[in-house]
Amino acid sequence: MRPDILELDRFYDGPHGVVVRRIVVLKLRQLWPSLKEERVLGVGHAAPFLGALKEAATGIALFPATQGAARHPKDGPGLAALAREDELPFQDAAFDRVLLVHALECSPHPNRLLREAWRVLRDGGRLVVVVPNRTGLWCWSERTPFGYGQPYTAAQLQRLLRAHLFEPLEERRALWLPPWRRARRFLFAAERAGTALAPRFSGVLLREAEKRIWLAPPALAQLRPSSRRYLQLPELTAARDEG
């Protein structure tokens, strides 16, 4: 089960969602401090976070077909697509980075999603997965989008990434206070204390991983229907040509 696009937009356009986005972006920036000339794909509901990565050469938001799509970016030419997340409409090695937000835990086919993320990443490309933490409080409340789908522990997420030929790298955690609206004014203050005193009980996990290339994903060929159409990325081509 996953939240629909209207529910997601209401949350991230509201005061609680604005604070959550800022905190998660701060942790994401620790993993990806610079994305200059990088090609970034966001899958799930990554658009609110891609908006903070404006130095990227291209930042495309892929919305799952069962969720619905929103405009991205808010201003300028659209860089959004609606498709099945387990059949990404992009060529192999099309992106330098892939960001999964409200994607892995909500996908009915998480294994295929990770294989597709592996496929569209360049050799050595980086993935960041943002998921609700099973040992935190946020996965237990449907007041936020992190209360939907399958939460993960850090160990479960690490095993899943390795099983799909990603080498887990750095980890960040966020959101220690309960997901109550009255608590949002204290969320920033709680981040430092939570990191030091109770890292295991964060509401959200962010895990970076690198695409491993010395082995091919199992049965990858069977996951690619011959009728699939790939989207062209003219903005991406132009950015590379200028460099």
pLDDT (tens digit per residue) in 83-97: 999 999 999 999 999
CATH of the domain at 119: 3.40.50.150
Instruction: Categorize the per-residue pLDDT at 180 as very low, low, confident or very high, splitting at 50, 70 and 90.
Output: confident
Per DSSP, what are the bridge partners of residue 132? 204
Please give the pLDDT value at position 216.
57
CB 84 within 8 A of CB 171: no
Strand 121-132, strand 80-83: pairing:
unpaired
Give yes or no for residue 1 having a pLDDT over 60: yes
- Count CB atoms within 10 A of the CB of residue 197: 10
Of the candidates 162, 168, 139, the one whose C-alpha atom is nearest the C-alpha of residue 151 is 139
DSSP for 114-176 reads HHHHHHHEEEEEEEEEEEEBTTSSGGG-TTSGGGSS--B-HHHHHHHHHHTTEEEEEEEEE--
Angle formed by the axes of helices 154-163 and 110-120, nearest 10°? 60
The token pair at 9 is 């937009």
Give yes or no for residue 239 having a pLDDT over 70: no
Plot region of 76 (φ>0 → left; ψ -120 to 50 → alpha; else → beta): left
Spatial distance between the Cα atoms of 231 and 243, rounded to a whole number of angstroms: 22
The residue assigned the tokens 């962010």 is 206
Each residue's pLDDT tens digit, 34-66: 998 899 999 999 999 998 888 777 899 999 998
Q: How many domains does the chain have?
A: 1
Spatial distance between the Cα atoms of 38 and 236, rounded to a whole number of angstroms: 9
CB 181 within 8 A of CB 16: yes
DSSP for 27-57 reads HHHHH-S--BT-EEEEEES-HHHHTT-TTBS
Instruction: Categorize the per-residue pLDDT at 214 as very low, low, confident or very high, splitting at 50, 70 and 90.
Output: low
The range of the structural domain enclosing residue 154 comes to: 5-242
Instruction: Categorize the per-residue pLDDT at 238 as very low, low, confident or very high, splitting at 50, 70 and 90.
Output: very low
The residue assigned the tokens 């237990």 is 140
Phi, psi dihedral angles at 187 (to 5 degrees): -60, -45
Spatial distance between the Cα atoms of 168 and 209, rounded to a whole number of angstroms: 4
Rounded mean pLDDT of 222-230?
58
Give yes or no for residue 143 having a pLDDT over 80: yes
Angle formed by the axes of helices 5-13 and 15-31, nearest 10°? 90
Highest mean pLDDT: which range of 6-15, 51-60, 67-76, 195-204: 6-15
The region of weakest confidence among 47-56, 197-206, 225-234 is 225-234
pLDDT more than 70, % of the chain: 90
The residue assigned the tokens 């998921």 is 131
Please give the pLDDT value at position 184.
75
The token pair at 167 is 């080498």
**Cα dist from 55 to 61, 91, 239, whole Å:** 15, 23, 12
Q: Would you say the pTM of this structure is higher than 0.85? A: yes
